[in-house]
Amino acid sequence: MNKNELIASIAEKSQTSLRQSDRVLNTTLHCIEEALSNGDKVRIAGFGTFEVKERQARRARNPRTGEIIEVPSSRVPVFKPGKSVKKVVANIDRRKAGLPRVISVTSGKGGAGKTSFVINLAIALAQQQLNVYVIDADLGTANVDVLLGISSRYTIHNLVDGSKKNVRDIVVEGPGGIKIIPGGSGLQSLTELPDEELNRVIEMFGSLDEDADVILIDTGSGISKNVVNFLLASDEVVVIVTPEPHSVTDAYALVKVLDEKKYPKPVKMVFNMVESVDEGKNVARRILEVIGRFLDIKPQPLWYIEKDDNVSRSIKQFKPLMHFNPNSAASKNIRTIAEKLNPLKKAAIVSLMEAEEPKSFVTKLRSLFSKAS
């Protein structure tokens, strides 16, 4: 935006003439310049502070010749951004990074440790200074809050029946700074809602785009329409697989559905409750060989979680593993997975910035939960 465009924008928003806006802007800049020349600070609440600072004489390298030169002392203008400017810049950075990053965690069948993994992954990501929301979309058996011993007065069911108008009204504060959106049984009839009601519920999730860095969705197990729609609306899908043969075959069936739907984003696999890394690698090799033989999709093995008695102990005490025993083998495995999924890591940012313009979670949900899906 050049100066003329800025003046035009000021005139439009303040409903004044271009001449008046030009005069006000020039007068403001002149007053700031005059104050700085007198050694005064100019502080605009929220926006920031203008001031002049003394820069001491120093030795530096000439950028053109490379020789060391003496740089005399000088007075230089400095701007320290305030909260409003910092927020704008942070939001720009988040948009460039494609945030919030929506990650659905699923499994072919129950008993794979999916919900426990989601909770502890959320905490591990929050420990990396990310704002993490967990949507409990495990239809009919939503239990994220149950595993944590948290009482949820409201759930997504209250959004569906209209007793709550804002998704933030049902958010529950979880351990480690994570935020939980309890599922209850409200999502069971989501695909059966009239279009107007469906759009009303989906629109409520739009506010999560404002400050969430990561949205983790704990989907149901299996391949129901609701589950598949949440997977297709995600930026990444993580499939939890255990060494049991039925878990491997059910995971294959789930990946096959994503292949049929031409899901274009990364599908990653976490191999849970393995006796050792070697067993995890063997399970990964078996399922990836079969997938490679019959399907076009190419899932990526993400990491392995070793079988750990601390997991069951932490569940019995309604404590997340990351807090119950942060140094256990499984905790370390989950922390490694969080590092790999962190959307602010350089590799993730590069791939996202090279990708197409990201759509919001709400936009994708609306299209996928339409009657045509």
Helix (H, G, I), strand (E, B) or coil at 237: strand
Q: Which one, of 278, 330, 325, 333, lies nearest residue 308 by Cα?
A: 330
Pairing of strands 214-219, 101-107: parallel
Render pLDDT for 255-267 as a digit per residue (tens, 0 to 9).
999 999 998 888 9
Give the Cβ contact number of residue 76 at 10 Å: 9
How many residues make up the chain in this entry? 373
Count of C-beta atoms within a 10 Å radius of residue 360:
14
Q: Which domains, and CATH codes, for the chain?
A: 3-90 (4.10.520.10), 98-368 (3.40.50.300)
Note the maximum CA span of the chain.
78
Q: How far apart are the first and last CA of the chain?
A: 42
Specify the pLDDT at position 75: 83
Contact 11, 17 (CB under 8 A): yes
For residue 27, CA distances in Å to 3, 35, 85, 350 come to 14, 12, 22, 42
pLDDT in tens, 86-126: 766 666 555 555 678 889 999 887 788 898 999 999 999 99
Global pTM? 0.72
Segments in the chain below pLDDT 50: 346-356, 371-373
C-alpha 251/C-alpha 236 separation (Å) is 16
- The reply to whether omega before 100 is within 30° of 0 (cis) is yes
Q: What torsion do the CA atoms of 315, 321, 324, 327 make, to the nearest 10 degrees?
A: 150
